[in-house]
Structure formats: C-alpha cells, structure tokens
Amino acid sequence: MDDIRKPSRITDAELAEIRRRRPGVRASLACEGMVLTAEDEALFEQMDRERLTADEGAQRILEISRTKRRAKALVSG
C-alpha cells in the first residue's frame, strides 16, 4: 500500500491571509500591465472555496491554460 498522502486543504487562517493580500497582488499586476479578468477572479474564488493548496491551484491554472491553448490551436490550425 502506498503511503502517498493527499495534500491537506488550506486552513481558515491561510485563506484569510490569501484574501487579505489579493488587493495588493491585483495592484502589483496592474503596474505590470496585467489586469485580472472576471474569469480569472472567478477561478481564484473557486479555488478559495475548494481550499486548494498553492500547488493544487498552480496545477489547476496549468490545466486550464493548456486546455485553452489546445482549443485555440484547433481553431487556428
């Protein structure tokens, strides 16, 4: 039997800290010319509700990005 454990979900305190920092992150991104879309915001809210760890959230973003890229390639190709 494998002893591979599923990562634990983030705690209430960690979620509160993420939400506390989010406005500063938005401002920092805006300074770089990157503005989060409503779709981006909805994704982050969904990940908050699911209490995904940073690694799980990054994996989710990669999956979505790859799916969009494949769909775009099919349309363009």
Check residue 5 and give its pLDDT: 63
Whether 60 and 7 have beta carbons less than 8 Å apart is answered as no
Distance of CA 49 to the CA centre of its chain: 11
Whether 53 and 11 have beta carbons less than 8 Å apart is answered as no
Give residue-wise pLDDT tens across range 17-65. Answer: 999 999 999 999 999 999 999 999 999 999 999 999 999 999 999 999 9
Check residue 10 and give its pLDDT: 93
For Cα atoms 52, 57, 62, give the angle at the middle one, nearest 5 degrees: 155
Q: What's the pTM value of the predicted model, to 2 decimals? A: 0.76
51: Cβ–Cβ under 8 A, 6 or more apart, which residues?
9, 10, 15
Residues 14, 5: Cα–Cα separation, whole Å: 20
Confidence class of residue 8 from pLDDT cuts 50, 70 and 90? confident
